[in-house]
Amino acid sequence: MLYGADYNPDQWPEDIWPDDVALMREAGVTTVSLGIFSWSRIQPGPDEWDFAWLDRIIDLLHAGGIGVNLATATASAPPWMTAAHPDILAADENGAPYWHGSRQHHSPSSPTWRRLASELVRRLAERYGDHPGVVMWHVDNELGCHLNEEFSDSARDAFRRWLAGRYGSVEQLNDAWGTGFWSQRYASLEEVFPPRKAPFIRNPSQVLDFKRFMSDMWLEVYLMQRDIIRQAGATQPISTNMMGAFPPANYAQWAPHIDVITDDCYPDPLDPQRPLTTAFQRDLVRSLKRGTPWILMEQATDAVNWRPTNPSKKPGQLAAETAQSIGRGADGIMFFQWRQSRAGAEKFHSAMVPHAGTRTRTWNETVALGERLAELPALPAPGDDAPVALVFDWENWWAVEGEGHPTRLDYLQLVRDWHGALVRRGVMVDIVPPEKVDARYRLAIAPFLYLLRSSGADALRAFVAGGGVLAAGPFTDIVDDNDRFRDGGFLTQLGPVLGVAFEDFRALVPPARERIAERAGEEGSAADAAEDPRAYARFAGRVAGSGTIVAESVWADDAEVLATFETGPSAGRPALTRRAHGDGSAWYLATMPADLDGVLDALLDDAGVSGELDQVPAGVEVARRGDLLTLINHGDEAVEVTAPGTVLGSENPFGTRTLDPQGFAFVRAVR
Ligand code: GLA
């Protein structure tokens, strides 16, 4: 188990360094991420290099038994570079540059920046690639964090090249982007720009491609640095720290290129759903490389300083959040940062060593946590055996929230709603793109999968044919990869397996809810004669309620209607359908149930999936990795939990025990 933090010794006089190492040992620190923002110290001028301080601190840490996760230091370009090479600067949607004085002001597309960054990374890798103290490489930092999109001339040129690679010719681009609309037809790729500021809704296909392009630019920065490190002969694992469900970076595409998934997570203390929101993030990053552990590369020991107000964590919350990460697959727990900065933009951000020193709750909690982690026996690898796949797809995220749609959606929250309902039941779930839905799952839920690639549709159809239970919809299977309607209407790919045909979206204006009744109205169901009354009876009493966001009008041509709309624009039409198919079944939701519980119970029942515990008390989370159960009480009251198995590291049965608020336990499950 790695334990440690970002370490920025270049912010401090050198005589503090030995104290740092001594305190690190006291806190149980095994590893630090070093030099993330050190470019201007390593290369103070275009032709000046200073590695001596870095040699000294790496040697000192190594002598103290602390491993170094060495950063490539490219996350903030030095001021001399801006002055000498203004073409490295990123630009906003007006084309106005971002200047130095903060961080990440460079364009990832800039050839000059790439050349200078390559030189830095090459020197670092050649110098430290075989240093026994360097255990891992930390490429850049949170790629794209502040520059989700940037519109500089470098971006423009790179975008044109990227488009040439994707489409081959301007005719193909015109077709893909539907430029017949609003006089947007291009005569040459040289006329194409990034989607800079425009008077009204911008071409959605162009916007979508630009998001793909930005994700690819940051990935190219990672790949460039990774290749340089490898060419220098370094053999340590290479990673770059992710940010969970971070909109601009399609991590599902990045993951195969990254040796170890590392993630930064800063739970919002004011988020009423906090433990569920963070559980989603842990499951998402675990699912990027199913069956392998990941590293929590950054969390805060206490308050952050970058939200409008920054309250402290509750006593014990830090340990509980750490347990959640471990329970959901983490094999490393790291912080931003080791020693609280005394100057600069983050001086109010918490750290392992607060500015007030070691006579602090934060220091005591981090030392206690280090001790607790050090006592843990070797943990099983996260199993690749979650029974449920929740489909979450970045390209769809970009497209489904586009402008000019029937209604505005918060896709991430809608997917999280499903995830939260599963977590509350103690059901383990992977969060994957549709292509990753395969026979290892028993249930797949695909909400709001507006952009459905044909490869994804193939996987979902094969999943049902192979005996899986699929729940799709609403607002699903609407556009192709370029955000164009497919020929032949909607649900063109999944309709046959769902047994449903699509008529219209019927957006609901929030907070409108339309009542759903169990099979109350039969109109619209041409399949009544074929209905299986036993199947209907199985789900009776569970699928009534109300629907939100859309009340679609669909035809259940070859599916059983489990519930119909009683009110609203689709009154009398199917709200929830099911088509049995071999051992599997395909369900369609023509609305987003306001309360997911009943429908989810019916789906889990249909798929034969149950939670990890017989009873999951309210506020308690249970997660499983291999045969290890992690039980956490996120509530404010003590609660009794019953679990099968023995307390980790002993022969004592867990039985029924009380978990205090923020209390947690690890249990070796008996299965
Ligand atoms: C991010 C960055 C760190 C630091 C923290 C503060 O995670 O990677 O450098 O700015 O945020 O919370």
Q: Which of 374, 397, 425 is the C-terminal boundary of a domain?
A: 374
Which ligand 1 atom lies nearest to the CA of residue 241?
A: 8
DSSP of 384-437: S--SEEEE--HHHHHHHT-SSSSS---HHHHHHHHHHHHHHTT--EEEE-GGG-
How far is ligand 1, taken at its centre, from the CA of residue 336, in Å? 6
Closest ligand 1 atom to the C-alpha of 243? Answer: 7
Q: Are 322 and 396 found together in one domain?
A: no
Residues 410 and 361 grouped into a single domain: no
Indicate if ligand 1 lies below 6 Å from the C-beta of 266. yes
Q: What is the pLDDT of residue 524?
A: 40
What whole-number distance in Å separates Cα of residue 548 and Cα of residue 592? 5
Q: CB under 8 Å to 183, separation ≥6 — which residues?
A: none
Specify whether 593 is located in the same domain as 639. no
Please tell me whether residues 352 and 430 are part of one structural domain. no
Kindly state the DSSP code that residue 479 receives in the 8-state scheme: B
Q: Is 179 inside any structural domain?
A: no
Report the pLDDT value the prediction gives residue 522, as an integer from 0 to 100.
Answer: 47
Q: Tell me what pLDDT residue 671 has.
A: 62
Among all chains, which residue has been given the structure tokens 């992710």? 242
Atom of ligand 1 nearest to the CA of 264: 7
Q: Would you mind telling me the total number of residues written for the chain in this entry? A: 671
Whole-number pLDDT of residue 536:
60
Identify whether 379 is part of a domain: no
- CATH number of the CATH domain containing 655: 2.60.40
Residue 600 Cα, ligand 1 centroid: separation in angstroms? 37
The answer to the question of residue 197 being in a domain is no
Three-class DSSP category at 632: strand
Q: How far apart are CA 104 and CA 8, in angstroms?
A: 17
184 in a structural domain? no
Q: Clarify whether residues 587 and 466 are in a common domain.
A: yes
Which residue out of 14, 93, 142, 375 is catalytically annotated? 142
Residue 95 DSSP SS3: coil
Q: Are residues 317 and 435 in the same domain?
A: no
- Distance from residue 335's CA to the centre of ligand 1 (Å): 9
Answer yes or no: do 366 and 414 share one domain.
no
209 lines ligand 1 (CB under 6 A): no
Out of 150, 298, 514, 552, pick the active-site residue. Answer: 298
> H-type helices in 68-147, by residue range?
79-84, 111-128
Task: Pick the residue whose CA is nearest to atom 3 on ligand 1.
Answer: 336
CATH classification at residue 474: 3.40.50.880
Do 92 and 98 contact (CB within 8 A), yes or no? yes
Task: State the distance from the centre of ligand 1 to the C-alpha of 429, rounded, in angstroms.
Answer: 28
263: Cβ below 6 Å to ligand 1?
no
Classified as helix, coil or strand, 274 is helix
Residues 532 and 457 in one domain: yes
pTM: 0.97
Q: Which residues contact residue 180 at a Cβ distance below 8 angstroms, ignoring those fewer than 6 apart?
A: 174
Specify the 3-state DSSP secondary structure of 244.
coil
CA 665 from centre of chain:
26
Residue 274 domain-assigned (yes or no)? yes
| Pair 436, 566 in one domain | yes
pLDDT, residue 535, reads: 58
Question: Which atom, in ligand 1's list, is nearest to the CA of 305?
Answer: 12
- For atom 11 of ligand 1, the residue with the nearest CA is 336
Most ligand 1 atoms within 8 A of CB, residue of 104, 334, 336 to mutate: 336
26 is known as an active-site residue? no
Q: Is ligand 1 within 6 A of the CB of residue 298?
A: yes
Task: Let me know whether 319 and 407 are in one domain.
Answer: no
- Number of structural domains, the chain? 3
Residue 176 lies in a domain: no
Query: For residue 259, what is the domain's CATH number?
Result: 3.20.20.80
Output the pLDDT for position 615. 95
- For residue 9, whether the previous peptide bond is cis, meaning omega lies within 30 degrees of 0, is no
Q: How far is the CA of 400 from the centre of ligand 1 (A)?
A: 29
Is any ligand 1 atom within 6 A of the Cβ of residue 349? yes
Q: Which helix (H) or strand (E) holds 587?
A: strand 584-589
Q: Which of 607, 641, 656 is the last residue of a domain?
A: 607
Within a domain: residue 205? Answer: no
Residue nearest to atom 4 of ligand 1 (CA): 336
> Which of 102, 104, 142 to mutate to test ligand 1, by most ligand atoms within 8 A of the CB atom?
142
pLDDT in tens, 408-461: 999 999 999 999 999 999 999 999 999 999 999 999 999 999 999 999 999 999
Same domain, 367 and 399: no
Residues 381 and 628: their CA atoms lie apart, in Å, by 9
pLDDT at 544: 87
Let me know: does 592 contact 576? Beta carbons within 8 Å: no
Residues of the chain where predicted confidence (pLDDT) is lower than 70: 520-537, 671
Residue 514 CB less than 6 A away from ligand 1: no
Q: Cα 264 to chain center, whole Å?
A: 10
Q: Give me ligand 1 centre to Cα 267, in Å.
A: 13
Instruction: Kindly state if the Cβ of 264 falls inside 6 Å of ligand 1.
Output: yes
Q: To test ligand 1's pocket by mutation, which of 346, 347, 348, 350 has the most ligand atoms within 8 angstroms of CB?
A: 346
Q: Name the residue at shortest CA distance from atom 12 of ligand 1.
A: 304
What is the distance of C-alpha 380 from the center of its chain?
23
As given in the structure block, the two tokens for residue 88 are: 């490295």
CA distance 88 to 99: 10
Boundary of a domain, candidates 339, 374, 409? 374
C-alpha to C-alpha distance for 427 and 613, rounded to whole angstroms: 9
Provide the residue range defining the domain that includes 643.
620-668
C-beta 304 within 6 A of ligand 1: yes
Quick one: 143 and 30 in the same domain?
yes
Give the long-range contacts of residues 18-25, CB within 8 A, separation 24 or more: 18/60, 20/338, 20/339, 20/353, 21/60, 21/61, 21/63, 21/64, 21/66, 22/64, 23/353, 23/358, 24/64, 24/66, 24/338, 25/64, 25/65, 25/66
| Closest-CA residue to 625 (of 612, 615, 606) | 612
Per-position DSSP letters for 604-630, written without gaps between them: HHHHT---SSS---TTEEEEEETTEEE
Known catalytic residue at 298: yes
Element housing 564 (H / E): strand 560-565
Residue at 381 is within a domain: no
Cβ of residue 302 lying under 6 Å from some atom of ligand 1: no
